[in-house]
Each structure stands twice: as structure tokens, then as C-alpha cells.
């Protein structure tokens, strides 16, 4: 029972990060109409920026966090014109070209990181930015600051996001484009500018995820983004591409599933088992558990 509770805590905190990742990914899919497969690489890039800034400023975590967020917003905004350039037409998701461009950007980021920092070896965040401090320990059950923050900030960010989506002018424009891009244009919603807002917002998400990741893992490596990218894409597809609510459920479920496998079988099998289960789900329900929303 203790193992189970411990792993549920682990799973929820990792799942919270998956949820944020898949939400940012889905936002770009719905509003910017791109498949940003390498969105997690952008997040890892931000982890490196956070790490450098903390180093350079002699340990200022606050500046590191701000730089992390600013850098992923910047990467997203810089790549936006590239995506817009390769898209055949506005008004529909151009899966092929945007996916290829995204993978290219991801490879560039990965290579730049491995050539520029620490000889390509993982970098470590001492004390996980304070995230590895233990808040609570009862037998095998422990809760670290990083885990608590990951779950807490995850809930806050997702709630704020849904509030924005359903209570603001920009959110309404996001939803209109997600439902019918051409119809949105006919009523005067600017597709390009609203799309840019979604790049910026998913950039903010990315920065927050980078910090939470650093707290949870305590390290970053050039290849981390790619490992996570496969999971994010899988979660989005399993939930139903572009299905925001579905992404919440499946993101958390993947975190818990992995943690349970780690706790009872072996950590090295968690990826394989998770992907086998997801494969079965997609065979049974090709449009995802909750249906595609494109």
C-alpha cells in the first residue's frame, strides 16, 4: 500500500508535466494549426537557459526561471514565421510540412545543446532548484517540494488556461479558430495574429514546464526532449488530437501508469509497457479515447 501511494504521488507529479506539455502542444495544433512534435525540445532548451543564467548570476533562481520562460517564448515566436512560411494554406492543419519543420528544429536544438554545453553530458541542477527537498516523509511515502510544486502549479496553470479560454476575448478567438478557421476569418478574427498569441502562450507554458522539470528531475540532457516528445505526441493522439480535456486525463494517466510500472515491475520497462498499452488503445479507438477535435 505504501508503495502504491508513493507511486501515485510520483505519477501525479510527472503526469502534471505531461498534461502541461500536451496542453501546449494541443494549443499550437488548434490555434496555430501546426504539429509541433519538437515542442518538448524547446522546453529542454529553456532548461539549459535557466541553468546558464543561474550559473552566470551566481545562483539567482528567480532570474533563471524568468530567463527560462522568456527563452521558450522567444524560440516559439522566432519559429512562428518559419511555420507560417511552410504551411500550404491557412485554415487547415498542414501536418506534413509543419511536422517535418518541427522535427528539424528539434534536431537543431538537440545538436546545439550537445555541442555547446558540458560536452553533451547531462547538466545538473544542484538540489533540483530546491525541488528535491523533502516536504513529508512517512515510511516509503515521500513528497518533495518539486513534486508538490509540479502538481500545484500544474493545476493552477491549467485552471488559468481554461479560464482564459472560456472567459476572455482571446480565448473565444482561440476556440473559434479551433472549431472553424475559415469561419473565424469570415467574422473578422485575425488568424495570423491570434496564431502568434498561441505561440507566445505555449511558450509561457514551456518555460513553466522547464522549471518544473528541472525541479523534478534535477538534470537535463540534450536527448531529453526527444524522449518526451514521443510521449507527448502519443498522449495527444490517444486522447484524441487537439482534445484539451482528453489531454488532461490521458496525461495524468500516463504519469500514473509509468509510476506504477516503475514501482511494481521495473523502471526500465515503463516506456515499453506504456507504449504497448497506448498501442492497444489506438487500435481499438483510432480517433483516440475522447475523439479528435480539429
Partner 1 sequence: MASNSAALLSVDGISVSYGHVQALRRVSLEVRPGEIVVLIGANGAGKTSLLESVLGINALREGNVTFAGAVVSGSSADRNVRAGLCLVPEGRGVFASMTVLDNLLLGAHHNMRNAQKNLNRVYEWFPVLAQRKDQVARTLSGGERQMLAIGRALMSAPKLIMVDEPSIGLAPLVVNDIFAILTRLNREGYAILLAEQNAYKALKCAHRGYVLETGSVTLAGSSAELLADPGVREAYLGA
- Please give the residue ranges that form the binding site for partner 1 (CB under 8 A): 169, 172-173, 175-176, 179-180, 183-190, 193
Query: Least distance (Å) from partner 1 to the CB of residue 199?
Result: 18
Q: Provide, rounded to whole angstroms, the least separation between the CB of residue 90 and partner 1.
A: 11
Comparing CB distances to partner 1, the nearer of 85 and 169 is 169
Residue closer to partner 1 by CB (options 255, 288) is 288
Helices 270-284/224-239 angle, 10° precision: 30
- Which residues touch 101 (CB under 8 Å, ≥6 apart)? 82, 83, 86
130 or 171, CB closer to partner 1? 171
Closer residue to partner 1 (CB): 94 or 226: 94
Beta bridge partners of 142: 137
Distance CA 193, CA 67 (A): 24
- How near is the Cβ of 87 to partner 1 at its closest, in Å? 17
- Report in angstroms how near the CB of residue 125 gets to partner 1 at its nearest: 42
Q: Which is nearer to partner 1, 139 or 183 (CB)?
A: 183
CA proximity to 98, closest of 17, 195, 223: 195
Nearer to partner 1, 120 or 172 (CB): 172
The nearest distance, CB 91 to partner 1, in angstroms, is 10
| Nearer to partner 1 (CB atom), residue 52 or residue 175 | 175
Query: Closest distance between partner 1 and the C-beta of residue 247, in Å?
Result: 17
Q: Nearest distance from residue 194's CB to partner 1, in Å?
A: 9
Of the candidates 3, 278, 6, 17, the residue with the CA atom closest to the CA atom of residue 146: 17
Give Cβ neighbours of residue 25 (< 8 Å, ≥ 6 apart): 36, 39, 202, 232, 233, 236, 247
Cα–Cα distance list, 153 to 12, 208, 216 (Å): 12, 9, 13
What's the start-to-end Cα distance of the chain, in Å?
41
CA-CA distance, 102 to 63, in Å (whole number)? Answer: 28
- Cβ 287 to partner 1 shortest distance, Å: 16
Q: Would you say 188 or 286 has its CB closer to partner 1?
A: 188
* CA–CA separation, 78 and 230 (whole Å): 23
Amino acid at each position: 500500500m505504501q508503495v502504491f501511494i508513493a507511486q501515485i504521488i510520483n505519477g501525479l507529479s510527472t503526469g502534471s508535466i505531461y498534461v502541461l506539455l500536451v496542453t501546449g502542444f494541443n494549443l499550437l495544433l488548434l490555434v496555430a494549426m501546426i504539429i509541433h512534435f519538437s515542442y518538448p525540445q524547446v522546453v529542454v532548451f529553456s532548461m539549459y537557459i535557466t541553468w546558464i543564467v543561474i550559473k552566470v548570476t551566481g545562483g539567482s533562481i528567480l532570474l533563471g526561471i524568468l530567463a527560462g520562460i522568456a527563452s521558450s517564448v522567444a524560440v516559439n515566436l522566432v519559429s512562428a514565421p518559419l511555420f507560417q512560411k511552410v504551411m500550404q494554406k491557412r485554415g487547415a492543419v498542414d501536418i506534413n510540412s509543419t511536422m517535418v519543420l518541427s522535427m528539424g528544429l528539434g534536431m537543431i536544438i538537440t545538436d546545439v545543446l550537445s555541442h555547446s554545453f558540458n560536452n553533451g553530458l547531462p547538466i545538473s541542477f544542484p538540489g533540483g532548484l530546491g525541488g528535491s527537498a523533502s516536504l513529508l516523509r512517512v515510511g516509503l511515502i515521500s513528497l518533495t517540494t518539486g513534486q508538490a510544486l509540479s502538481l500545484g502549479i500544474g493545476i493552477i496553470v491549467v485552471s488559468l488556461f481554461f479560464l482564459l479560454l472560456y472567459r476572455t476575448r482571446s480565448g473565444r478567438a482561440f476556440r473559434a479558430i479551433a472549431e472553424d478557421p475559415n469561419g473565424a476569418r469570415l467574422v473578422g478574427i485575425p488568424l495570423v495574429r491570434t496564431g502568434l498569441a498561441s505561440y507566445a502562450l505555449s511558450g509561457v507554458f514551456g518555460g513553466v514546464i522547464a522549471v518544473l522539470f528541472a525541479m523534478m528531475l534535477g538534470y537535463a540532457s540534450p536527448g531529453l526532449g526527444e524522449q518526451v516528445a514521443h510521449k507527448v505526441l502519443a498522449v495527444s493522439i490517444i486522447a484524441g488530437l487537439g482534445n484539451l480535456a482528453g489531454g488532461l486525463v490521458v496525461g495524468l494517466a500516463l504519469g500514473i501508469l509509468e509510476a506504477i510500472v516503475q514501482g511494481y515491475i521495473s523502471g526500465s520497462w515503463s516506456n515499453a509497457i506504456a507504449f504497448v498499452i497506448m498501442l492497444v488503445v489506438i487500435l481499438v479507438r483510432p480517433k483516440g479515447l475522447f475523439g479528435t477535435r480539429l
